[in-house]
Structure formats: structure tokens, C-alpha cells
């Protein structure tokens, strides 16, 4: 079960697709939307992240920083980000530490019996570092509820 609403968000530092270290605490002055996704280049992940890309202005108006997190390598994420023209950072949780900390790691991914793949999950973290919205999908083909994410961001503003 994913970390629940009301929990202090675990801080982390990961490499982004541009080989730079990114930490959650770098965004203390913003609300943060963490989007864990199973696998770059898959159809559902592409649909999810491209819908965020296409709506980035609304997230910006809600003073939110989007961070995508996957267990893919930073090299795969770089190619994926460029091909899809994603306008927010993608972070590599290759060692699976952050997915474990947020309790969103499949023991066995339903498709192809892969071990240690991130669940599709969304967290909204307010400027105080508290999780104000949490959802994790057991079925990887189900997208996060973007309207509930935006509602949580509006409430945080």
C-alpha cells in the first residue's frame, strides 16, 4: 500500500535524464507531483506522461513541479523524454530505493513477470513536505486520477 495522505514525504536524491542530481528538497517552495510509472516507452506510460506534458500550464498555474520516476535507466529515460518532448524531469530510480520508500514497487509486475517495477502511482506533496494526495494503481493500465490531483493542488494553494 502506498504511503498515505498525511505522511511526511521521504526525501530522496536521484539522477535525472540529463545526468543531474535532483532532490525532493530542491522544490521546497513548490507543490510537487510525483508520478511513478512502470516502464518508459510502454503505451500507457506514454499516454500518462504526454497528458501531463499537454497540460503542464495548468500544473504550473497551481504552483506545482511535476517529477516522473521510474526504475528505467537514466539513458532510457533521456531517449523517452526527448522522443515524447516531455517538459518536466524524469528521474531514474534504478536501484528502486525511492519506489520502496513510497511503497509503490511491484514484487512481480503483472505483465511479463518482471521483478521490481514501480507501480503507477501519484503523490501530491505540499510546500511543508506532507503528502496531501496519494494513489497507487494495482492494475498498471489504469491512469492516475488527474482531476483529483489538480483538486489537491488547488486545496494546497
Q: Domain 13-156: which topology?
A: Glutaredoxin (3.40.30)
pTM for this model (two decimals): 0.95
Of 109, 95, 100, 98, the closest CA to residue 137 belongs to 109
**Within 13 Å and on the Cβ side, how many CA atoms surround 78?**
9
Residue 113: per-residue pLDDT:
77
Domain coordinates of the chain in residue numbers?
Answer: 13-156
- On the question of pLDDT at 110 being above 80, the answer is no
Under the banding of pLDDT at 50, 70 and 90, the label for residue 109 is confident
Residue with cell 526527448: 82
Q: Is the pLDDT of residue 111 over 80?
A: no
Is the per-residue pLDDT at 141 higher than 80? Answer: yes
pLDDT digits (tens, 9 = 90+) for 53-81: 999 999 999 999 999 999 999 999 999 99
Active site residues: 45
pLDDT tens profile 120-137? 999 999 999 999 999 999
Amino acid at each position: 500500500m502506498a504511503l498515505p495522505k498525511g505522511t511526511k514525504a521521504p526525501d530522496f536524491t536521484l539522477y535525472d535524464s540529463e545526468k543531474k542530481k535532483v532532490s525532493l528538497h530542491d522544490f521546497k517552495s513548490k507543490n510537487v507531483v510525483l508520478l511513478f510509472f512502470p516502464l518508459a516507452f510502454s503505451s500507457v506510460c506514454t499516454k500518462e506522461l504526454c497528458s501531463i506534458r499537454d497540460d503542464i500550464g495548468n500544473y504550473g498555474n497551481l504552483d506545482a513541479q511535476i517529477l516522473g520516476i521510474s526504475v528505467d535507466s537514466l539513458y532510457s529515460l533521456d531517449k523517452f523524454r526527448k522522443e515524447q518532448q516531455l517538459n518536466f524531469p524524469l528521474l531514474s530510480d534504478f536501484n528502486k530505493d525511492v519506489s520502496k520508500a513510497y511503497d509503490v514497487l511491484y514484487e512481480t509486475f503483472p505483465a511479463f513477470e518482471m521483478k521490481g517495477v514501480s507501480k503507477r502511482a501519484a503523490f501530491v506533496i505540499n510546500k511543508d513536505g506532507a503528502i496531501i494526495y496519494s494513489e497507487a494503481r494495482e492494475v498498471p493500465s489504469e491512469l492516475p486520477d488527474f482531476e483529483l490531483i489538480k483538486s489537491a493542488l488547488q486545496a494546497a494553494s
